[in-house]
Amino acid sequence: MLIRLARVQDQLRRVIADAPPGPIKIISVCAGQGHDVVATLGDSPRRAAVRARLVEGDERNVAEARRKVAEAGLAGIEVCHGDAGLTDAYAGAVPARILLLCGVFGSLTDTDIDRLVAGLPQLCQANAQVIWTANRTAPELYAEAEQAFRRYGFEPRWADPEDHFGVTRHELVGEPQPLQPGRRLFDFADEQTLIKLGRIAI
């Protein structure tokens, strides 16, 4: 069984390979240490075409991601320390062809899942590919995210129902929207709220 990271990297590799000639803009929302993007681009024949912005709020993760980016010699990857929940974090990096939303939905309330997905067309170019995860062992969470994608102009392109990590890819088939500065897309919920919602077990 492929682990979550390997599945995300596999989807990322495919959508990079399918991208038309020219620059490929990637955005990673709450990027962590950037394992998915850095490892995938390391051996990609399209690495020189990629312009990626990784947005992460934890300074230690940012430092580690920057170290790995430098080690891999990936000049096109920018690791930004900032609040990925604000549209301002994406100014200058949109519209993206590929968006990564991995390990995010599980920390959001249903209201914020809806608010985030509603805002994604502001980050996307036409037919952008969004690779996201939501653990299927919390079925309401996965369904909530999937329904939000359907509501806001995305169609499913890849998912494996047997994969409990819920790695999934949607494509924007609706219209991209201009980035509106100063808009909040989400806040990570506090632990008590996540326990109540069944997002984390006690």
Ligand X SMILES: C[S@@+](CC[C@H](N)C(=O)[O-])C[C@H]1O[C@@H](n2cnc3c(N)ncnc32)[C@H](O)[C@@H]1O
Report the site for ligand X in 29-48 (rule: CB under 6 A): 30-32
Binding to ligand X in span 170-189, by CB under 6 A: 188
88 binds ligand X per the rule CB under 6 A: no
Asked if residue 51 lies in contact with residue 85, where contact means CB atoms within 8 angstroms, the answer is no
The answer to whether 171 touches 154, Cβ cutoff 8 Å, is: yes
Q: Any residues with CB less than 8 A from the CB of 96 and at least 6 apart, and which?
A: 25, 26, 27, 123, 124, 125, 128
DSSP assignments along 18-39, one per residue? HSPSS-EEEEEET-TT-HHHHH
Among 50, 55, 94, 117, which residue sits at the site for ligand X (rule: CB under 6 A)? 55
Q: Which is nearer to ligand X, 46 or 81 (CB)?
A: 81
**Out of 9, 11, 40, 61, which residue is the one contacting ligand X (CB under 6 A)?**
61
Could you say which of 14, 44, 57, 67 contacts ligand X (CB under 6 A)? 57
Position among 103, 119, 121, 153 found at the interface with ligand X (CB under 6 A): 103
| Contact status: 158 vs ligand X (CB under 6 A) | no
133 vs 177, beta carbon nearer ligand X: 133
Paired strand residues for 171: 129, 155
56 scored as a contact of ligand X (CB under 6 A): yes
Q: What is the C-alpha R_g of the chain?
A: 16
User: What is the DSSP secondary structure assignment for residue 57, as one 8-state letter?
Assistant: S
* Residue appearing with tokens 């088939």: 173
Cβ of residue 56: shortest distance to ligand X, in angstroms? 5
Binding site for ligand X (CB under 6 A): 30-32, 55-58, 61, 83-85, 102-103, 188
